[in-house]
Homo-oligomer: A and B are copies of this chain.
Amino acid sequence: MNTATRPAAPPAPFDVEKLRADFPILTQEVHGRKLVFLDSAASAQKPRAVIAAMTAAMERQYANVHRGLHWMSERTTEAYEGARDAVARLLGAPDRHEIVFTRNSTEAINLVAHSYGRGVLAPGQAVVISEMEHHSNIVPWQMLRDAHGIELRVTPITAAGELDLAALARLLADGKVGLVALTHMSNVLGTYTPAARLARLAHDHGAKLLLDGSQAIVHRAVDVREIDCDFYVFTGHKLYGPTGIGALWARRDLLERMPPFLGGGDMIASVSFARSQWAQVPHKFEAGTPPILEAIGLAAAIAYVEAIGYSAIAAHEAHLLDHALARLAAIPGLTIFGRAQDRGGVVSFTLEGAHPHDVATLLDRQGIAVRAGHHCAEPLMHRLGIESTTRASFGLYTTVAEIDALAEGLLRVSEFFA
Contacts from A to B (Cβ < 8 Å) = 24-25, 28, 30-31, 35, 37, 39, 42-43, 45-46, 50-51, 54-55, 58-64, 67-73, 103-107, 109-110, 113, 134-136, 138-140, 142-143, 152, 154, 235, 237, 242-245, 260, 262-268, 270-273, 275-276, 287-294, 357, 360-361, 363-364, 368-373, 375-376, 378-379, 382
Contacts and interface: CB of A to CB of B under 8 A. Distances in A.
Given A46-B62, A71-B30, A287 B110 contact: yes
A70 B39 contact: yes
A266 B43 CA distance: 14
A244 B287 CA distance: 12
The DSSP consensus for interface residues of chain A is mixed
A294 B107 CA distance: 17
A293 B296 CA distance: 14
Nearest to A102: B103
A391 to B, nearest CB: 11
A364 B71 contact: yes
Across the A-B interface, give the 7 residue pairs with the lowest CB-CB distance, nearest first: A106-B288, A139-B263, A244-B244, A106-B264, A136-B264, A244-B291, A43-B64
7 contacts: A25-B60, A30-B72, A39-B72, A69-B357, A70-B363, A243-B244, A271-B379
Nearest to A37: B72
B243 A294 contact: yes
Contacts of A63: 37, 39, 42-43, 369
Nearest to A52: B55
A312 to B, nearest CB: 24
A134 B67 CA distance: 14
B110 A262 contact: yes
B364 A70 contact: yes
B360 A69 contact: yes
A39 B73 contact: yes
B369 A268 contact: no
Contact of A58 (B50, B72, B287, B376): B50
B139 A268 contact: yes
Contacts of A372: 69
Given A139-B271, A364-B69, A382-B272, A291 B371 contact: no
B135 A268 contact: yes
Nearest to A290: B243
B287 A62 contact: no
A154 B271 CA distance: 14
Given A50-B58, A271-B378, 9 more contacts: A43-B64, A45-B58, A70-B364, A106-B288, A135-B276, A138-B271, A154-B273, A242-B294, A244-B292
B24 A43 contact: no
Contacts of A25: 58-62
Contacts of A104: 288-289
Contacts of A43: 62-64, 289, 292
A139 B276 contact: yes
A103 B288 contact: yes
Contacts of A260: 143
Given A142-B276, A268-B135, A288-B107, A67 B263 contact: no
Nearest to A50: B58
A21 to B, nearest CB: 13
Nearest to A356: B69
B67 A371 contact: yes
A369 B378 CA distance: 51
Contacts of A361: 69
B287 A136 contact: yes
Contacts of A31: 71
Given A67-B376, A265-B136, A369-B68, A243 B293 contact: yes
